[in-house]
């Protein structure tokens, strides 16, 4: 039987599509939409401006135009547009002098002197580059992730950016999709925790918090489910998948206060997301009570014509505004400039136009832009040079890395006996690739893995560096991230592999740094294969065949198919950022112990995708790992998996009550012990399974905590489960419901955890909530 309260709550916007995050992360001390300026004062200011504005000036506030730094030299289109009030916002400016030059045009030449707002893709840092978001998620450390984005926000704000087009909270279940690197992986619970943490980091406890920027949640919604993993392709997901998998991270981000949402490019179930009023109005505004503004993805309004939905640009502008888009993002095509005409023709109403403009003006007031429109160039330089940011970047890279294999405890390397190392691979000394995608300007001071090892090991350890093999070029050019003319110096792969083998034979240990170049991942960088690109597999196998201990460091934003290659150790370092080399050197030498865990199931090969741990039982569940005739069903490594240099043991979990009534909460705890000889981190994970009442996933993550344990130390980790964790979207009821059912609960170090307990949810409390002996 379904309960009515959740259905009713959804209708009035109270039901949570996402999990309760209270146990995972610190709660803001003020409500997310509280602002440093009083609501009344904001309103008065906005209305005073609004009455003075022409329809053209209103449309200008609803447009964000491209203008890529470096040039403080202004482009006529942008400069003229700003001066005439036709451009109210600019993206891609990352230089304070450039931002100030454009701002001066708005404040000195435009009629109403409304300051510009600057947006940018601050995905994992601006000048100080942190690990890519999939790596941050692998830390399972929301507090650290919050700190990282707060730090990135501080740097961005100092250079004149007030708004990040991040976090990307798209659930990604198909690793062919290149943008998996920008999100938190396959799971809606982990995704929701990471979404909320990033929003708190970017924005702080309230809009207008000093040194913070607006969090722009994207891409609304379900962009990660693109057919075949092909970027921008259509998305067709069931109602159940949408509400239970793809929407929860958006809801969590909005509950955390995210003030901006970006509409996605692709059609969702047949309707382009940028003209999808069900998404942008019914769900976002009416159900979730979103108060901020919606921006289209770049060019997505104009593309409504390409989709075939709109007849021309004017129609596209009307359809997007009508659906709930507030602001159009585009290059030099301003589709929203059609809005004044549409207003005159009655295709949109004055109220609609004014409401959209109010949202933008209100945002600018809340940001304090009218008082402080300019970047302080001196402070920007100080912010960029702040060593604390670099420290955080190193710690984040260390905490993100996932140790996937460590046969014979080859890691950590023994400093006392180590005399020589062969560092091999096309990514070992590539600063650009160590930073990863979404870094606009190459940063001069990034530390590669080779450089990090050199610095760590000093002159007494001989390091031979061999690139080994080249990297392939993409089949067709990319408009997103054009490859440099020479990707790597042209290389004779056969000679390079022979050279690498010789270097490995001549060394105590071979460290291979392989994976995907930054251009092979991110937007417009989906792949049809999960193989190591180029001849890297041959290189890996040839070096392993030397019999020397081989440590494989992977740089990737997705799982890769390593086939039968069998290096002794594998460390997934992601794209670790500015301090990546130092972080990896610390991890390999044991100065830091790896503690990251996979935010996705690692498939055996591309034919297995999409592969998730939270599948439904369906027919013949005992055959789940044999569903293919020619392939096992289980992943290489399960969701949540990651090794340490120490080991952890779990006792049987204990539930505090065997039976709870719907709406009540139950405590679940487990004792975890460090049974090894080194200090280390374990991420204790809690999974549940609802046994009856609906076809629910075999397991679902509903809690986790990363803890540090000294050798021999024991900790009791306690979680609470309540209606948020035990409810789900029922397509039948068209609401979130909680069923009466028995629940299994597992606690352990990954999604295959075997320590199990049980409790039941009933219609009314039956046992008075008696505690159960552990
Ligand atoms: C298109 C991408 O889809 C979006 O994520 C990004 O924020 C904009 N371009 C601006 O760079």
Whether residue 55 is predicted with pLDDT greater than 50 in this model: the reply is yes
pLDDT at 1: 33
The CATH number assigned to the domain holding 123 equals 3.20.20.300
Q: How many H helices and E strands in the chain? A: 23, 27
Q: Write the residue with the smallest CA distance to atom 10 of ligand 1.
A: 298
CATH number at residue 708: 2.60.40.10
Q: Are residues 415 and 295 in the same domain?
A: no
Answer yes or no: is 200 within a domain: yes
Between CA 87 and CA 75 the distance in angstroms is 13
Residue 613 resides in a domain: no
Regarding the beta carbon of 186 and ligand 1, being less than 6 Å apart is answered: no
Rounded Cα–Cα distance for residues 32 and 148 (Å) = 19
Residues 314 and 441 in one domain: no
Are residues 278 and 323 in contact, defined by beta-carbon separation less than 8 angstroms?
Answer: no
- The arithmetic mean of pLDDT across residues 85-112, rounded, is 96
Kindly state whether residues 49 and 106 are assigned to the same domain: yes
How far apart CA 483 and CA 467 sit, in angstroms, is 19
Taking residues 523-550, report their average pLDDT: 97
* Whole-number Å distance between alpha carbons of 201 and 184: 16
Pairing of the two strands 509-515 and 550-555: parallel
Q: Please give the angle made by the CA atoms of 224, 230 and 235, to the nearest 5 degrees.
A: 50
Q: Which of 692, 402, 735 is nearest to 570 (CA)?
A: 402
Task: Give the distance (Å) from ligand 1 centre to CA of residue 525.
Answer: 13
Do 694 and 587 fall into the same domain?
no
Atom of ligand 1 nearest to the CA of 265: 3
Residues 179 and 250 in one domain: yes
Cβ pair 180, 609 in contact under 8 A: no
Three-state DSSP at 202 gives helix
Question: Rounded to the nearest 5°, which phi and psi values hold at 397?
Answer: -65, -40
Residue 461 has pLDDT above 90, yes or no: yes
Test site for ligand 1: of 118, 121, 214, most ligand atoms within 8 A of the Cβ: 121
Residue 440: the pLDDT is: 87
Stretch 651-656: mean pLDDT: 96
In a domain, 642, yes or no: no
Neighbour count for residue 591 (Cβ, 10 Å): 14
pLDDT (average), residues 391-412: 98
Task: Decide if 713 contacts 690 (C-beta within 8 A).
Answer: no
pLDDT at residue 35 greater than cutoff 80 = no
What is residue 489's predicted lDDT score, i.e. its pLDDT? Answer: 58
Domains: count for the chain = 3
Q: Tell me whether residue 615 is in a domain.
A: no
Q: Ligand 1 centroid to 297 CA: how many Å? A: 6
Same domain, 189 and 289: yes
Residues 427 and 528 in one domain: yes
Res. 13: pLDDT tops 60: no
Of all protein residues, the one whose alpha carbon is nearest to atom 9 of ligand 1 is 298
Indicate if the pLDDT at residue 24 is higher than 50: no
Pairing relationship of beta strands 509-515 and 462-466 according to DSSP bridges: unpaired
The pLDDT of residue 110 is above 50: yes
Chain center to CA of 373: 30
Give the residue numbers spanning the domain of 346: 21-380
d(CA 453, CA 584): 8
Distance 122 CA to ligand 1 centre (A): 11
CB atoms within 10 A of CB 376: 15
End-to-end CA distance of the chain: 30
Give nearest CA residue, ligand 1 atom 4.
297
Coil/strand/helix, residue 712: coil
One-character DSSP codes across 164-198: E---B------TTSGGGGGS--S-HHHHHHHHHHH
Query: In this structure, are 580 and 685 located in the same domain?
Result: no
Asked if the structure places residue 45 within a domain, the reply is yes
Does 752 score more than 60 pLDDT?
Answer: yes
Question: How do 700-709 and 680-690 pair as beta strands?
Answer: antiparallel
Cβ-contact 761, 661 below 8 angstroms: yes
Give the separation between CA 319 and CA 768, rounded to whole angstroms: 55
* Mean pLDDT, the chain, integer: 92
Query: How many angstroms does the Cα of residue 299 sit away from the middle of ligand 1?
Result: 9
């Amino acid at each position: 039987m379904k309960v009515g309260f959740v259905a009713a709550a959804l209708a009035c916007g109270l039901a949570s599509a996402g999990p309760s995050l209270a146990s995972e992360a610190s709660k803001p001390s003020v409500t997310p939409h509280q602002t440093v300026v009083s609501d009344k004062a904001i309103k008065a200011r906005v209305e005073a401006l609004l009455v003075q504005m022409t329809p053209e000036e209103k449309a200008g506030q609803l447009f964000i135009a491209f203008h890529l730094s470096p040039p403080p030299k202004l482009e006529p289109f942008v400069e003229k547009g700003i001066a005439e009030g036709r451009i109210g916002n600019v993206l891609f400016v990352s230089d304070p002098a450039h931002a100030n030059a454009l701002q001066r045009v708005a404040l000195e030449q435009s009629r109403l002197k409304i300051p510009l707002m600057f947006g940018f893709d601050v995905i994992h840092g601006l000048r100080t580059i942190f690990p890519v978001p999939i790596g941050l998620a692998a830390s399972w450390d929301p507090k650290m992730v919050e700190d990282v984005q707060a730090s990135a926000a501080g740097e961005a704000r100092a250079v004149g950016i007030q708004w990040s087009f991040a976090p990307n909270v798209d659930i990604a279940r198909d690793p062919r999709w290149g943008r998996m690197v920008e999100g938190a992986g396959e799971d809606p619970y982990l995704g929701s925790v990471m979404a909320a943490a990033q929003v708190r980091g970017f924005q702080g406890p309230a809009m207008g918090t000093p040194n913070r920027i607006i969090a722009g949640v994207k891409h609304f919604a379900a962009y990660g489910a693109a057919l075949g993993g092909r970027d921008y392709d259509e998305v067709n997901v069931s109602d159940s998948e949408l509400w239970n998998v793809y929407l929860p991270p958006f809801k969590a981000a909005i509950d955390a206060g995210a003030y901006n949402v970006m509409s996605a490019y692709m059609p969702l179930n047949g309707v382009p997301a940028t003209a999808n009023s069900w998404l942008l109005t019914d769900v976002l505004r009416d159900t979730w009570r979103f108060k901020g503004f919606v921006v289209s993805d770049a060019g997505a309004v104009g593309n409504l014509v390409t989709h075939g939905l709109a007849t021309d640009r004017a129609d596209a502008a009307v359809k997007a505004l009508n659906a709930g888009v507030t602001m159009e993002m585009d290059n030099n095509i301003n589709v929203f400039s059609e809005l004044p005409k549409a207003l005159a023709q009655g295709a949109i109403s004055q109220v609609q136009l004014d409401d959209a403009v109010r949202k933008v003006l209100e945002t600018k007031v809340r940001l304090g832009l009218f008082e402080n429109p300019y970047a302080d160039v001196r402070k920007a330089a100080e912010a960029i040079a702040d060593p604390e940011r670099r420290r955080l970047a190193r710690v984040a890279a260390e905490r993100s890395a996932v140790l996937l294999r460590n046969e014979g405890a080859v890691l950590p390397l023994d400093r006392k006996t180590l005399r020589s190392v062969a560092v091999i691979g096309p990514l070992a000394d590539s600063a650009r690739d160590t930073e990863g995608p979404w870094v606009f300007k190459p940063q001069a001071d990034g530390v590669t893995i080779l450089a990090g090892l050199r610095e760590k090991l000093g002159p007494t350890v001989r390091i031979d560096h061999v690139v080994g093999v080249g990297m392939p070029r993409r089949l067709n050019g990319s408009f997103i991230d054009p490859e440099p003319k020479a990707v790597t110096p042209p290389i004779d792969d056969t000679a390079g592999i022979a050279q690498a083998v010789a270097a490995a034979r001549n060394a105590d240990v071979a460290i291979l740094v392989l994976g995907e170049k930054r251009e092979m991942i991110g937007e417009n960088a989906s792949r049809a294969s999960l193989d190591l690109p180029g001849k890297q597999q041959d290189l890996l196998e040839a070096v392993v065949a030397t019999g020397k201990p081989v440590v494989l460091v992977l740089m990737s934003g997705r799982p890769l198919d390593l086939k039968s290659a069998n290096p002794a150790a594998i460390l997934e370092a992601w794209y670790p950022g500015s301090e990546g080399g130092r972080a990896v050197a610390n991890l390999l030498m044991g100065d830091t112990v790896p503690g990251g865990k996979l935010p996705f199931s690692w498939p055996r090969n591309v034919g297995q995708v999409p592969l998730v741990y939270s599948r439904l039982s369906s027919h013949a569940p005992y055959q789940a790992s044999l569903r293919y005739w020619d392939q096992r069903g289980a992943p290489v490594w399960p969701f949540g998996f990651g090794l340490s240099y120490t080991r952890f043991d779990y006792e049987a979990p204990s539930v505090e009550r065997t039976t709870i009534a719907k709406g009540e909460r139950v405590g679940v705890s487990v004792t975890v012990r460090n049974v090894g000889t080194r200090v280390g981190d374990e991420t204790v994970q809690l999974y549940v399974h609802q046994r009856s009442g609906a076809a629910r996933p075999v397991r679902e993550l509903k809690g986790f905590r990363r803890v540090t344990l000294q050798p021999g130390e024991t900790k009791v980790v306690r979680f609470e489960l309540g209606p948020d964790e035990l409810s789900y979207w029922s397509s039948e009821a068209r609401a979130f419901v909680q069923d009466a059912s028995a629940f299994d609960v597992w606690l352990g170090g990954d999604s295959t955890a075997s320590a199990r307990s049980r409790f039941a949810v009933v219609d009314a409390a039956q046992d008075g909530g008696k505690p159960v002996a552990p």
